[in-house]
Amino acid sequence: MKNKSGKKPKFRDENGERKFWSAHDSTEFVDWKKARRVTFPNLKPSVKTISIRLPQSMLEELKLLANKRDVPYQSLLKIFLAEKIKEELRV
């Protein structure tokens, strides 16, 4: 069933848009027969800055490991966290 106006609503934030699309069929707003595949090489996921307190020795060891891999220590920390989260969710 096509939306009468065919116009997508405006959203205040990602959460509002996510909620809307979880309850609506995109075919009401988009003619997927006319769609074409595209890539977004510069697309970055939404991120949130946090503060975390670590023991000084842990931070120094993290920086040492990051230096050996030639990556920033924050990036290595994200890798470690992602691996552990994935492992824990498999249980």
Task: Give how far the C-alpha of residue 79 lies from the chain's centroid of Cα atoms, to the nearest Å.
Answer: 14
Task: For residue range 62-90, list pLDDT tens digits in order.
Answer: 999 999 999 999 999 999 999 999 999 98
* CA R_g for the chain: 21
**pTM, 2 dp:** 0.53
Q: 22-70 pLDDT, tens per residue?
A: 998 888 888 889 989 888 888 888 889 999 999 999 999 999 999 999 9
Residues 33, 27 contacting (CB under 8 angstroms): no
Neighbour-count burial for 71-81, b at 16+ CB within 10 Å, e otherwise: eebeebbeeee
